[in-house]
Amino acid sequence: MNAVPGSPPVEAAAVAIEPPLAMLCELTHRCPLRCSYCSNPVALEGASHELSTAEWQDLLSQAARLGVLQVHFSGGEPTARRDLPVLVRHAVEQGLYTNLITSGVLVDQAMADRLAEAGLEHAQIGFPDITEEGSTLITAFKGGLARKYAAAAALKQAGVALTMNAVITRHNVERLPQMFEVAQQIGARRIEVANVQYYGWGLLNRAALMPSPQQLAWMTGVVTEARARLKGQLAIDYVIPDYYAKRPKACLGGWGRQFLNVTPSGTILPCHAAETLKNLSFDSIRDRSLADIWLHGSAFAAYRGDAWMPKGCRSCEHKETDWGGCRCQALALAGKADAMDPTCEQSPLHASVRAMAEQEAAANINTMTYRTFTDTAR
Amino acid sequence: MARSAVSDTSQPRLADHVKLRFDAIRKRWVVMAPERMLLPDEVAVDVLKCCDGATPLATIIDRLATDYQAPVEVVGPDVVALLQDLCERGFVTT
Ligand code: SF4
Ligand code: SF4
């Protein structure tokens, strides 16, 4: 999975512990692609640990009862699970709104039809580039782009709404104007111009992916122009790299506020990268109920609200907008999970983080470590 | 895709993949759409419930005016403005 969707934006007031709005199910970590920007953890979970069909179904039912409204089926490559249509149908029967986050390379017309018939509303297809060379550079998979186009056509034909997730690196920025054309050609109503978020494999490969500030400035201009020109035809979401931002993003609407993430083996996480926080322990759906984990799990409690925040955040007017930013990024860049997210300009590390990104972009060293299972994944 | 202006004869309906549903946990209506969600206020819920793709706008306005015991001239412009906005944001189509 290269895209990390948040909960849908809503204007709701915050009170104590609200029920979650969205759940992201990493059905499997298996994937035919090996994207260097993959946000999956570096220690991938092997197939033998995956939840069974019945376990996923039970979890989806629990999620609906807890208040989840939307479920994202992701991975790895979720379509590598043969039971995906069964799970989609089960989710729909529980009243959940369904979204598929896919690379598309395994989706043929028969599968698209089965998914649509099961009630799938929306699919988001990841595009590492719009040339085969560019695509292969990121995915280490030949011929992937053609298969993505075929998947888009099949899903469109089946009546599923499409989003093109254009994942931006310094290698493909220059083709952004053509990406809008591709989005329209494949019948997407929405495109995410999503700069890589540096987690998991993406963090490992940051130096090989990071765009320059000049590229970012150009990109922003292109997006602004396209938004005006394509209004009403193509919705454009734009996510810039945090490293060049003034303030951090509200990671998934705030820790433990709206969103939960399930790993293939059923570990329930406040965000997809949370396992990098070694100070926390995470509960499994195999041991506790989802409601119990959401309400009482120690990992969810750890950074919920503002009690954990550093002083600068606790007194900041933005604290209920960005909830102090991302804990995983704080750990990765500041060495402490409860530090201020260094992508905030209030952070003493802000300037050095930006400088590091600029240097990495300028050095332009393109050696990539492609995603792979380690020996520990059985 | 150019979105047509709402007129008396339009028969508004929820756009494809847009679902109006009651959230029994939070006890409120929600509108779900791809990657988006909307919390409609009471009037919007009443309007959206009428958007079945068959009922013309004029009939919807009459019905709501009766329900709210308010004159059509007062209800009408509000409903049109609301629907126009929902159309522009892709939740409703005519
Ligand atoms: S390797 Fe690529 S396609 Fe596969 S899960 Fe990761 S980002 Fe998605
Ligand atoms: S100081 Fe903290 S709360 Fe304020 S903008 Fe920065 S990260 Fe967000």
Helix (H/G/I), strand (E/B), else coil: A167: strand
User: Which atom from ligand 1 is nearest to the alpha carbon of A76?
Assistant: 5
Domain ranges of chain B: 13-89
The reply to whether ligand 1 has any atom less than 6 angstroms from the CB of A31 is yes
In whole numbers, what is the pLDDT of chain B averaged over residues?
91
Listed as own residue / partner, the contacts of A219-226 with beta carbons closer than 8 Å and 24 or more positions apart are A219/A168, A219/A173, A219/A176, A219/A193, A222/A176, A222/A177, A223/A176, A223/A193, A226/A177, A226/A180
0.90 exceeded by the pTM?
yes
- Contact present, A121 and A88 (Cβ < 8 Å): no
Q: Does the annotation flag A38 for ligand binding?
A: yes
In whole numbers, what is the pLDDT of chain A averaged over residues?
93
Helix (H/G/I), strand (E/B), else coil: B33: strand
| B30 to chain A: closest CA residue | A69
Chain centre to alpha carbon of residue A148: 18
pLDDT for residue B5 is more than 80:
no
Pocket test for ligand 2, best of A346, A350, A353 (most atoms within 8 A of CB): A346
Element (H, E) at A87: helix A84-93
For chains A and B, CB pairs below 8 A equal 56
Per the CB < 8 Å rule, is B36 touching A161?
no
- pLDDT one-digit tens code per residue, A64-102: 999 999 999 999 999 999 999 999 999 999 999 999 999
Q: Which CATH architecture has domain A22-240?
A: Alpha-Beta Barrel (3.20)
Q: What φ, ψ does residue B76 adopt, rounded to 5°?
A: -50, -60
Q: How far is the CA of A170 from the centre of ligand 1 (A)?
A: 18
**CB contact, 8 Å: B27 with chain A?**
no
Q: How far is the CA of A338 from the centre of ligand 2 (A)?
A: 12
Q: What value of ipTM does the predicted structure carry?
A: 0.89
Burial class (CB in 10 A: 0-12, 13-18, 19+), A160: buried
Q: What number is the average pLDDT over the span B56-62?
A: 95
As given in the structure block, the two tokens for residue A48 are 């033998």
Under DSSP, the state recorded for A52 is P
Query: What band does A8 get if pLDDT is binned at 50, 70 and 90?
Result: low
As given in the structure block, the two tokens for residue A124 are 């988001």
Note the pLDDT of residue A13: 40
Query: What band does A7 get if pLDDT is binned at 50, 70 and 90?
Result: low
- Contact present, A125 and A151 (Cβ < 8 Å): yes
Length, in residues, of chain A: 378
Per the CB < 8 Å rule, is B38 touching A161?
no
pLDDT for residue B22 is more than 60:
yes
- Contact present, A167 and A1 (Cβ < 8 Å): no
As given in the structure block, the two tokens for residue A356 are 């590091």
Instruction: Label the pairing between strands A259-262 and A268-269.
Output: antiparallel
CA dihedral of residues A64, A294, A12, B89 (deg, nearest 10):
-50
Note the pLDDT of residue A12: 42
What is the least distance, in Å, from the CA of A67 to any CA of chain B?
Answer: 6
What is the least distance, in Å, from the CA of A312 to any CA of chain B?
Answer: 32
Chain centre to alpha carbon of residue A290: 21
In DSSP terms, which residues pair with B31 in a beta bridge? B20, B38
Domain ranges of chain A: 22-240, 306-366
Ligand 2 environment, Cβ below 6 A: A 247-248, 312-313, 316, 318-319, 322, 324-325, 340-341, 344, 346
Pocket test for ligand 2, best of A246, A249, A306, A313 (most atoms within 8 A of CB): A313
In DSSP terms, which residues pair with A191 in a beta bridge? A164, A236
- pLDDT one-digit tens code per residue, A187-218: 999 999 999 999 999 999 999 999 999 999 99
Note the pLDDT of residue A1: 58
CATH code given to domain B13-89: 1.10.10.1150
